[in-house]
Structure 1
Amino acid sequence: MFPRVLLFLIVLSSGFLKAQLSEINNVKTKYINWLTDASITTYSDNNVKALYNKYIQQANSVESTINNNYNFDSPGVAWNMVNSSDESALISLVNSNLFYLVMAYHLKGPIVNGQPSNPKYHSPQLKELILKVFKYIKDKGINSTTNFKLSVEPAMERIAMGNSSFGLRSSPLGECVLLMKDELVQAGEFSHHMGILEGFTSFIDPSNPNYHFTYSGCNTDVIRSMMHVRLCYILALDDTAPQKLEKMNFLYRFMNNSLSIASGWADMIKPDFTAFHHLGAYPNSYGANGLSVAAVLNYILKNTAYELNATSRNNLKNALMAYQKYSADFEIHRGWTGRFPNTTTPLLTIRSAFALLYAADPVENLEAGQFFKQIYNMPGGGFNPAVTSGTGNTMSMGQIVINIKNNVSLLPSNSITEGQFSFPYGGLSVHKYNGYHVAVKGTSNHIWHYENSATENIFGRYISAGAMEILSAGTFKTRLSNGLGVAGTNGAVTDNGWDWSHLPGTTVANIPLSAFPTGTHRLFSGKKFLAHASLDNNGIFAMDYKDANSVTGASALKTVFFFKDKMLCLGSEIKDAGGTYPIHTTLFQTGLPTAATPTNINGTVQTGLNVNFSQSTGNVWATDAVGNGFAIPSDGYTGSVVIKRSTQQSRNQANTADTQGDYTTAYIDHGTAPSSGKYRYGIIMQGGAAGAQNMANNFSNYFEVFQQDNKAHVMKSVEDNIYGYAVFDASSVFQNDKVISVNKPSIIMTQTLNSGNKLKVSLTSPLGLLSDNENYTFNQISGTASRFYQIPQVDPVKLTLAGKWQLESPNNNINISITGNNTEVTFNTINGITIQTTLIPEVFLGTQEIGNKDAAFSIYPNPTKGKVTIISIKKSYKNLKVYDRSGRDISSIIAVEKNKDRSILDLSSLVSGTYTVCLDNDCRKIIRN
């Protein structure tokens, strides 16, 4: 019996193994179809045909020049990948030459009379050239042991790309080896080049002793550059290769782990769905590329045994869909562009990712398909004709795009025109109303202030100092249409003449251009208070700002309150003891399309480039160059208000050239070395001169400011009856609204409705990965696993409200207790996310009379010391629930005895207090004495 059973198990195991290998080969087929035009049955669309022509033209160009650029017969000295010039040479050979030759070799082109029309398809001459290139790579010493400067940090399980330029741009080599497998095998070169791929990606292997999936997330560089290489390597393996199945299973786990929510400062997707890299939000280059690659992998693996799990798919979708929240059409805040300050339209780069999500699962990702169609119809959207090496705009991608465009049943989504969106891990608040968009960026002991290099973003020092970007002008919002720069010779926006010391919204030292390059990038401010709050579609940005590059510690408490098309900006405790430069709070800086473009100051229309307005007392109101109105009440500032129209002299962001441009700029000059400066001003988006004047002359009809000092900023939006509290010091006690106090620095928003019978309230605590006085440098965080992967903890914050209140509906993140005539509401905050609820007055309902025909049930005795009896008028019910004062369901700990039309509840195990008993949707209050 035993041999027969053993034989059966061997056969069963063999069948299972073959089935799994078959699934890997299914993935291989999908991948190759994705790279080529194998799945395209017709070239009827001119866009797809044009894309094909570009691939062929690129290959033609390579064929005509490659023999002049490379000596295949005498390769010369071996390449050393530690040498940057050798590394660049390999990148150029693979990405700019080999890739296009391989693609041309595998593209069939339009089918004519049943045959491929591409003369290069499987051309013997082209094959010979491609094999020459592969052999050249081998002859230049690139092999399985080549040092590509990649490493794994054992203590952190973090893959470091080091300074490996090839590591960041390697995916085309994997694709070329996969596509040319048969030809390489015939030439006897396959094992060599597979060895390169294996050695290059060995960290994503079950044999790696330093990777155990301890931490979630993954370096964005690895996702965007290396996962394709590893997948190509595994797909190219023979079915008889040792551990092929194990290697694929490991990669599958690696992919899912990489798309898990990353804790602390780790890449890539954060709890607020920002894309992270370099310990900060990076949704343009790194994040955009990482998410795009993840979308390709999701598409290829979908409907196979290696389909990404539901959590990974959901995280990927949410991270991509977040772009529509923090983008104004295509534009994002410059504070999220890292060291690439002019790369502000990442949606253009990643628009195909939304098409891929939809193509992978039209039901699960319907909104992604609708959003893609919206993008496609936007100016500058449309079909992407670019031909790039790697898994970018492949022929299959072109066909997917056209299929979605032509899908008449798929309607494009509408732009988000209203909402308040918070991104605490990125330090960004976004407010939308009526199609207007405003974003404010801050810095803290969690959020670094800016990133640069020797030739990039040299003047980015103030981009997180509360910099406010308003995009309210134009049906389609661009930086140029909103004056965030001026037009260049080609009509595109440029930073010509941009004054890097006067970013709108900032309160900073007016330093000369020569001082900017001395600043250190990726610094944390050392201040914890940076919070982004909301109440429905209204919000608050609040920051305890300190200039991390200031030797004198320039600082200010800053808030922005958002209500529909209006904003209130408050500043207090503006200090720079010992400072040598004046501190300016900038209201606006907008480009002037022409010298005749009008603006307005206190009712006088301004034109030309020689306006120098200054006023130190009284109301000031003005408009910028695109129609936004600004109003400063007479008691709203210390110092003087300065407004200019002039040709500004500056330097470009790389600090490589002098620039100039025409702008109107307004700021409050608080003087040099202020000790307690302040400002107060309102903004009405697209309010024009009339709106600005009315706000300035009737400021209290728009906003009431109750407190503006070192402890708190407290105000009220009169129109909306919403109170906003930015509490910097928890010792504060308030008497303006229902809020009495809060036990930790936080933001509270309240709105009373229904004649006082309903109270909306939200509370937001700053991001709390670090304790109040805990501060680290960039390297101290990135180099220590316990900090880098810091797990966020729930932080209970207790808010005391006047009056007796109860939750309108249960909320697991909120607990309530009544103390005397006040109510203590504890919000269990985490990740800097707002918690909002609705409260209603605590009302004792009393005993319902048994004979009351309007009552669904009666309950007695009430109050009780133990058991109570419930008599149901309806005779039957589906659910009986008991809730405590906080709204927590405690039914499971209550003993219930049912007898015909009545139930007996034993409440003796509960502490004294007020509870709620519900039969289905009908509820009664009961007091346990």
Structure 2
Amino acid sequence: SGQGNTFDRGLAADYLRLVRNEDTPNARFFKKEGVQPAQAPQGFFVYNYGSAGIFRRADWMVTLKGYTTDVWGSEIYVKDNRYGRYQSYGSVQIMGKGNPVSRAGSGFVQEGWDWNRLPGTTTIHLPFELLDSPLKGTTMVHSKENFSGSSSLEGKNGMFAMKLMERDYKNFTPDFVARKSVFCFDNRMICLGTGITNSNADYPTETTLFQTKYNGVDSKVGDDNYWLHDGYDNYYHVVDGTVRSQVAEQESRHEKTRAVTKGKFSSAWIEHGKAPKDGTYEYMVLIQPSATDLDEVRKTPTYEVLQRNQTAHVVYDKKTGITAYAAFETYRPDGDKLISAIPAETMVMYMREPDKGIRLSVCDPNLNIKEKAYTTKESSRPIRKKIRLKGHWTLTALMDNVQLEQQGENTVLTVTCQHGQPVEMLMHEK
């Protein structure tokens, strides 16, 4: 740890958090040395070398996952993960139940699991023989798109966006595309999709809300077909989309042996139909809300979608005051109070500060690595992004990777992005 201790006390505290009440030699030693279990990490964590974001509060964690030219979508081997094709198709996986919290405690078990229905993903629902990897050896598919990953503001709240596309392999659908985003505030996620298109007329395209091992809890919340419950204290409100839900005994295949497995699951998904053209969806996820929180959100919307099309997904969250932009193409809004233009394939988040300033982050998740291979020694190369702001703004503190230039009534903000990390700044209006 570089702190001169005989062992890494921070790591030891996390170890005690993870083993909970297990009596192990290490746990006994660390407790004897006065180490207390750490608290679970809190906030939003950007991991764009994995085209991923991690959203955490309390003891729950959400993993948001995509893939790019540099990050493969899944690792499939001769006898491992045979049906894992869709693992990075915009998955939104919640782990928040169990003591300690675990996959099984959160509703994932392999027996009977439908590999077509990873939560959050938009997929073509295939028979298992077609979903099975078409290659005899390793399948590690890269995308041809580079806009996939996450960003954050203050390390507390964040977002994920991706241009989804499928490659041209046997049993794949090479014209399958979609644009997806997830906006994460407190214990709420707003999930948007546009441009869901493919020519597969044999099998339906779906966006999965959840798939969990059935534990006896009904998925419907009252008589409302558009409010659903996954049985693990997470609630889903569908604003746009044809919802289907079921509790069913499912037959699946083992990811290593292909043997038949069975299990009873509660599932819900948005139906886009066969060979969809420009399909869309919008839904909100409430993660482990209190009864009061749930009641309040059901009565009064907590967010507003400012734009949802092929150009951009833009959301304003009323509770945190954050506006977040996923600009898939160059974005020039008409009535935005702050933003005049955002370049293509950029994520921007901002909020007003009490002293009339703003806190703003800019991120391009593209690692911008020239060599396209399974592994590389090449580093991420810098990318410059120019954002045009309305009004005259100045940085609160000078930054090497941010330059401002006044142009008429606007301020041009030039940000140098690298390693897929958000660049965050405080600004005041002149």
Answer yes or no: same fold by TM over 0.5. yes
Contact 2:221 2:229 in 1 (8 A): no
Residue in structure 2 matched with residue 369 of structure 1 by the alignment: 12
Question: In structure 1, what is the equivalent of residue 129 of structure 2?
Answer: 514
1:364 and 1:827 map into 2 onto residues whose CA distance is: 40
Q: Which residue of 2 aligns with 1:405?
A: 31
Counterpart in 1 of 2:114?
A: 499
User: How many residues are paired up?
Assistant: 423
Per-residue deviation, residues 133-176 of structure 1 (Å, max 9, x unmatched): xxxxxxxxxxxxxxxxxxxxxxxxxxxxxxxxxxxxxxxxxxxx
**Gapped runs of 5+ residues in structure 2?**
none
| Structure with the largest fraction of strand | 2
Residue by residue over 1:836-859, the C-alpha shift from the partner in whole angstroms, topping out at 9 and shown as x without a partner, is 1111112xxxxxxxxxxxxxxxxx
* Structure 1 residues 431-465: Cα deviation after superposition (integer angstroms, max 9, x where no partner): 01132211111111111111122221111011111
Gaps (5+ residues) in structure 1?
1-316, 318-356, 384-397, 486-494, 605-617, 843-929
Tell whether the 8 Å contact from 1:473 to 1:686 is kept in structure 2 after alignment: no
Q: How does 1:41-60 map to 2 (within 5 A)?
A: none
Three-state SS of the structure 2 residue aligned to 1:629 is strand
Change in Cα spacing, 1:667 to 1:690, as seen in structure 2 (3 Å) is farther
Residue 575 of structure 1 corresponds to: 197
> Distance in 1 between the 2:291 and 2:269 partners?
18
2:88 and 2:212 map into 1 onto residues whose CA distance is 19
Q: Using the alignment, how far apart are the partners of 2:185 and 2:401 within structure 1?
A: 26
Q: Return the structure number with greater helix share.
A: 1
Say whether residues 1:620 and 2:226 are aligned partners: yes
* Aligned-partner Cα distance in 2 for 1:586–1:689: 25
C-alpha displacement at 1:693, in angstroms? 6.7
User: 3-state DSSP class of the match of 2:105?
Assistant: coil
Check conservation: 1:552, 1:578, Cα contact below 8 A: no
Residue 425 of structure 1 aligns to a residue whose secondary structure is helix
Residue number among 564, 568, 580 corresponding to 2:186 in the alignment: 564
Q: Tell me which residue corresponds to 1:825.
A: 413
TM-score for both structures, normalised by structure 2 = 0.92
Alpha-carbon distance in structure 1 between the residues aligned to 2:204 and 2:425: 44
Can you list the C-alpha shifts for 1:759-781, whole angstroms capped at 9, x where unaligned? 0100010223247xxx95xxxx2
Go from structure 1 to structure 2 and tell me whether the alpha carbon gap of 1:373 and 1:620 turns closer, same or farther (over 3 Å shift): closer
User: How far did residue 553 of structure 1 move?
Assistant: 2.3
- Matched residue of 1:831: which SS? coil
Report the secondary structure of 1:422's partner residue.
strand
The share of aligned pairs that are identical, in percent, is: 25
2:206 counterpart residue number: 584
Kept in 2: contact 1:602–1:693 (CA 8 A) = no
Structure 2 residue aligned with 1:115: none
CA separation of 1:599/1:401 partners in 2, compared to 1, >3 Å: closer, same or farther?
Answer: closer
Alpha-carbon separation, structure 1, partners of 2:254 and 2:291: 32
Give the partner amino acid of 1:510. H
Shift of 1:713: 0.3
Distance 1:647 1:578, change over 3 A: closer
- Residue pair 1:461, 1:519 contacting (<8 A) in 2 also: no
Give yes or no for contact 1:471–1:479 (8 Å, CA) kept in 2. yes
| Displacement after TM superposition at 1:715 (Å) | 0.9
| CA root-mean-square deviation | 2.4
Letter in 2 for 1:815: Q
Please tell me whether the aligned partners of residues 74 and 87 of structure 2 are also in contact (alpha carbons under 8 angstroms). Answer: yes
Q: Cα distance, 1:564 vs. partner?
A: 0.6
Aligned CA distance change for structure 1 residues 696 and 736 (closer, same or farther; 3 Å):
farther
Please say if residues 368 and 382 of structure 2, whose CA atoms lie closer than 8 Å, have aligned partners that are also in contact: no
| CA spacing shift, 1:578–1:591, aligned 2, 3 Å | closer
Equivalence for 1:740: 340
Determine the structure 2 residue equivalent to 1:761: 360
1:177 aligned residue: none
Match of residue 377 from structure 2: 789
* Paired letter, 1:476: P
Aligned amino acid, residue 267 of structure 2: T
What is the match of residue 647 of structure 1?
249
Matched, 1:709 2:333: no
**Greater C-alpha Rg:** 1
1:718 corresponding residue in structure 2: 318
Partner amino acid, structure 2, of 1:768:
L
SS in 1 for 2:106: coil
- Is this contact kept in 2: 1:552–1:579, CA < 8 A? no
Report the Cα distance in structure 2 between the residues aligned to 1:576 and 1:422, rounded to whole angstroms: 30
Could you state the TM-score of these two structures normalised by the residue count of structure 1? 0.44
Contact 2:181 2:313 (C-alpha < 8 Å) held by counterparts: yes
1:527 is aligned to: 145
Q: What does residue range 656-667 of structure 1 map to in structure 2 within 5 Å? A: 656-667=258-269
Alignment-derived partner of residue 427 in structure 2: 839
SS, match of residue 337 in structure 2: coil
Q: Residues 874-903 of structure 1: CA distance to partner in whole angstroms, max 9, x if unpaired?
A: xxxxxxxxxxxxxxxxxxxxxxxxxxxxxx
Could you say which residue in structure 2 is the equivalent of 1:630? Answer: 236
* CA gap 1:591/1:535 in 2 versus in 1, 3 angstroms: same
Pick closer, same or farther for the CA change 1:734–1:523 going to 2, 3 Å: farther
Give the corresponding residue for 1:414.
Answer: 39
Structure 1 residue 401 displacement after superposition: 6.4
Structure scoring higher RCO (CA < 8 A, sep ≥ 6) equals 2
The residue that corresponds to 1:468 in the other structure is 92
Q: Structure 2 CA distance, aligned partners of 1:369 and 1:833?
A: 28
- Tell me which residue corresponds to 2:66: 442
